């Protein structure tokens, strides 16, 4: 087996170098759908952290029992269980938020980030590495979601976390909280990050 990255490397990689949204372009459904407000984005990231961490740990614990042709079934089963738990929990303790997020919590089941982490890391490495990987990737996901949500909420409503930050004269760009705003913001931020990456690489080359 080729050398696997260590726990610390897994953790660091998830945050920026292999950011699930900006680098791997995974999990775009919630990225586009629930980023019209910071509160929704943070709750979503929290739910993904919980599901990803639990799924990674369980899969890592049973990794030696997995059969190649049945592994995806087991991943999905594990993920679906924890998503349902997260969904019920939100409905019980954060009822308003669970209404805002609506179907996007159950849709975490088909979020590629989680199945990708189970496949790439948890089914091959020990529990510590799998846990560190889950936390790193979730922080990366949370950063991506909140960066998009911040831009959309501030420009679209003049609010940040529900508190007014722009002066009343600001004409709310309603389009930013509508679906097109998600694509615009995501595209521009992705472009910016890629441009910055290339710029740094070129600078390093020139010395």
Partner 1 sequence: MKPIQPMEPMPPSMLARLKNNKIIQAWLVLILAICFGSSLAGIQLTLGPRIEQNKINETREKVPELVLGAAHARQLAEEQKALEIQPQSVAVTKNGRQTAYSVLEARDPAKGRLGWVVKTGGQGYADKIELLLGLDPAAEKVSGIFVLEQKETPGLGNKITDEDWRSQFIGKETDRPLEVVKDTADKETEISAITGATISSRAVTTIVNTAVADLKGKLAAQ
Chain residues that interact with partner 1, rule: CB under 8 A: 36, 62, 65-67, 70, 73-74, 77-78, 80-81, 84-85, 88-89, 91-93, 95, 99, 102, 172, 174, 177-178
In the bound state with partner 1, the residue whose beta carbon lies nearer, of 49 and 86, is 86
In the bound state with partner 1, the residue whose beta carbon lies nearer, of 25 and 62, is 62
Q: Hey, is 61 helix, strand or coil? A: helix
Minimal distance in Å, beta carbon 74 to partner 1?
A: 6
State how far the alpha carbon of 122 is from the alpha carbons of 3, 18, 71, 206, in Å. 14, 16, 12, 39
Q: Smallest Cα–Cα separation from 55: which of 117, 125, 143, 102?
A: 117
Minimal distance in Å, beta carbon 164 to partner 1?
A: 17
Minimal distance in Å, beta carbon 94 to partner 1?
A: 10
Strands (E), the chain: 159-160, 163-164
- Beta-carbon contacts of 192 under 8 Å, excluding residues fewer than 6 positions away, are none
In the bound state with partner 1, the residue whose beta carbon lies nearer, of 84 and 146, is 84
In the bound state with partner 1, the residue whose beta carbon lies nearer, of 85 and 107, is 85
Minimal distance in Å, beta carbon 138 to partner 1?
A: 21
Helices 38-61 and 71-93, interaxial angle, to 10°? 140
């Amino acid at each position: 087996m080729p050398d696997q990255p260590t726990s610390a490397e897994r953790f660091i990689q998830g945050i920026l170098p292999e950011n699930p949204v900006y680098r791997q372009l995974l999990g775009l459904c919630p990225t586009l759908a629930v980023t019209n407000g910071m509160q929704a984005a943070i709750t979503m990231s929290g739910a993904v952290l919980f599901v990803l961490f639990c799924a990674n740990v369980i899969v890592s614990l049973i990794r030696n029992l997995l059969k190649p042709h049945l592994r995806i079934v087991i991943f999905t089963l594990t993920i679906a269980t924890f998503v349902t738990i997260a969904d019920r929990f939100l409905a019980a303790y954060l009822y308003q938020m669970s209404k805002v997020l609506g179907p996007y919590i159950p849709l975490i089941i088909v979020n590629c980030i989680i199945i990708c982490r189970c496949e790439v890391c948890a089914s091959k490495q020990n529990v510590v590495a799998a846990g560190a990987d889950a936390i790193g990737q979730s922080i990366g996901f949370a950063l991506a979601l909140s960066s998009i949500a911040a831009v959309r909420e501030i420009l679209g409503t003049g609010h940040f976390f529900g508190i007014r930050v722009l002066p009343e004269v600001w004409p709310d760009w309603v389009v930013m909280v509508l679906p097109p705003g998600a694509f615009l913001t995501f595209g521009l931020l992705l472009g910016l990050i890629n441009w910055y990456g290339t710029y740094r690489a070129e600078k390093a080359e020139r010395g």
